[in-house]
């Protein structure tokens, strides 16, 4: 039985004043039956960890360097994030792949850095609009899974988020059938590569314009173990509704 996960990615949003959202989230879900993760910007990681010390909310980083330390101005390493108290680090988000030209090899190296630091990677993959329209979605997913996911994957160190690029921040969401097709394909691919125990244990999230209105429908899809949420994770009142929908899907 895979434990469900609701992960929020604040991206480059949030000043210290926003940390109160974490208090509200923790108090709204004191006995959460799913994992709740917030990935704030790097400046807020340490205070967010302190703020959630006694709560059901875990904190994650949004990215890390492949190296442990060195002359890489502006970058943050996985051991630094671990030292600050995170449990998770997002790797391969499409905004990093686009804005910073990160390749599957980079994502694989970053994911290995996350694992070496003893943390869990929330690894993102997903097709562009042009690839979806050209009917290349499953080929893209197969390629990204093969090249971005390192060999030492386990149910504990890896969560995969299927995030179609065209659905991120656009209000567009794939049909349940389209999400179902990709999640089934990811599950079968992971089973083939890692065997049934690991392949069945790795959690698969859907991400892309998830909100309080569409979450319940998305969470009925068999291989969807939760969501990676951008915009709707910024306010605890919105994210809390998504968490509740996920908890009810457990029942």
Give the three-class secondary structure for 205: strand
Please list the helix, strand and coil fractions of the chain in percent, rounded to the nearest 5, in that order: 45, 15, 35
163 is catalytic: yes
Q: Closer CB to ligand PEP, residue 193 or residue 235? A: 235
> Is residue 63 a contact residue for ligand PEP (CB under 6 A)?
no
* Alpha helix ranges (H) inside the chain: 20-28, 42-51, 78-84, 94-99, 104-116, 129-133, 137-148, 176-201, 215-219, 236-250
The binding track of 136-175 with respect to ligand PEP, each residue x by CB under 6 A or -, is: ---------------------------x----xx------
Spatial separation of the C-alpha atoms in residues 193 and 152, rounded to whole Å: 11
Cβ 229 to ligand PEP shortest distance, Å:
5
Interacting residue with ligand PEP among 6, 32, 44, 228 (CB under 6 A)? 228
Q: Closer CB to ligand PEP, residue 102 or residue 194? A: 102
72 is catalytic: no
> Is residue 107 a contact residue for ligand PEP (CB under 6 A)?
no
Q: Are 170 and 231 in contact (CB under 8 A)?
A: no
Q: Per CB under 6 A, which region of 102-110, 176-184, 205-213, 215-223 contacts ligand PEP? A: 205-213
For 208, phi and psi rounded to 5 degrees?
A: 140, 95
> Is residue 230 a contact residue for ligand PEP (CB under 6 A)?
yes
Which residue(s) pair with 203 in the sheet?
159
| Catalytic residue IDs | 93, 163
């Amino acid at each position: 039985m895979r434990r469900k996960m609701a992960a929020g990615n604040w991206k480059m949003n949030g000043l210290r004043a926003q940390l109160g959202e974490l208090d509200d989230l923790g108090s709204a879900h004191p006995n959460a039956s799913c994992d709740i993760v917030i990935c704030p910007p790097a400046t807020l990681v340490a205070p967010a960890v302190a703020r959630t010390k006694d709560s059901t909310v875990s904190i994650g980083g949004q990215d890390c360097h492949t190296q442990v330390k060195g002359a890489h101005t502006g970058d943050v390493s996985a051991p630094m994030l671990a030292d600050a108290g995170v449990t998770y680090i997002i790797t391969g988000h499409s905004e990093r792949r686009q804005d910073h030209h990160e390749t599957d090899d980079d994502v694989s190296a970053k994911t290995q850095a996350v694992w070496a630091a003893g943390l869990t990677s929330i690894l993102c993959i997903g097709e562009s609009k042009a690839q979806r329209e050209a009917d290349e979605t499953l080929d893209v997913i197969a390629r990204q899974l093969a090249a971005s996911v390192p060999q030492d994957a386990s149910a504990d160190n890896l969560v995969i988020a299927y995030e179609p690029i065209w659905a991120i921040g656009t209000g567009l969401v794939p049909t349940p059938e389209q999400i179902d097709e990709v999640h089934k394909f990811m599950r079968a691919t992971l089973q083939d590569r890692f065997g049934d125990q690991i392949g069945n244990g790795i959690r698969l999230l859907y991400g892309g314009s998830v909100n309080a209105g569409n979450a319940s429908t998305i969470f009925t899809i068999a291989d969807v173990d939760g969501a990676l949420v951008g915009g709707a994770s910024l306010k605890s009142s919105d994210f809390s509704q998504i968490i509740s929908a996920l908890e009810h899907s457990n029942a």
